[in-house]
Amino acid sequence: FARDNAVHSLVDLVSSAPREKVVRVALSALRSLAQCNSDVSPMPSSKKEVTGSTFLIDMIGCGLIKYVDQMKERQWTDPDIVADLDVLHKLLHDNFKEMSRWDVYLAEVQSGSLEWGFLHTEKFFKENAKNFEGPDGDFFVVKLLVALTTSNDEEVQAIACYDIGEFVRHYPNGRAIARSLGAKDIVMKLVDHPNKELQRHALTAVSKMMVQNWASVH
């Protein structure tokens, strides 16, 4: 349940501002996940323990904090919605405070819900380039970014292109690694995309993968 996109689907329901009844059901489900305890349904010893914290990280990655903050400003007639928002607001913000910027970035990439912000800047990549290796040295985050360049969301595609380009700039031998993961060929296909913003980020990313010293020509 933790990795079957349930959180992503519930956050989508909340963010699309449907009927109040749908909001209440979605928030109630999110609150239940955020407060779940692994003792209720223990995982086999060979699998990673799933707790409320696991789901909260997913929720943060999907951008739920922003939606909850916005929803708390509205006047709701349903007291259950108000109660769920209060609980989720506290749990999300408390958990966010304990996460490093890299933790938040990783959660966002794994959720597939990329949004422009402080995580997608030159400063972030300068400070976190080494983390892209991953604990097993397989650059799995870069692999996820390459996959996200084929997302159905054009903004997600554009951000993924930007991030790949910045990884290439700031990680030693990043150009060779990105190429070995197929990034150049996939991003190259977006250079002629009708969306001008996506086209621009794709072209810039490809240029960074081809130019030895990007700073000298930029």
Closest CA to 158 of 122, 128, 196: 196
Question: For the chain, first and last CA: distance in Å?
Answer: 46
Q: Are 187 and 162 in contact (CB under 8 A)?
A: no
Map residue 182 onto helix, strand or coil. Answer: coil
pLDDT in tens, 14-62: 988 678 889 999 999 999 999 987 544 444 443 456 688 889 998 998 8
Look at residue 43 in the predicted model and tell me its pLDDT.
Answer: 44
Q: Length of the chain, please?
A: 218
Q: Give the other-Cβ count within 10 Å of 17's Cβ.
A: 13
How far from chain centre, in Å, is Cα 25? 24
pLDDT in tens, 143-188: 999 999 999 999 999 999 999 999 999 999 999 999 999 999 999 9
Note the pTM of the prediction, 2 decimals.
Answer: 0.78
pLDDT in tens, 94-152: 999 889 999 999 999 998 989 999 899 999 999 999 999 999 999 999 999 999 999 99
- Decide if pLDDT at 76 tops 80: yes
Q: Give the other-Cβ count within 10 Å of 188's Cβ.
A: 15
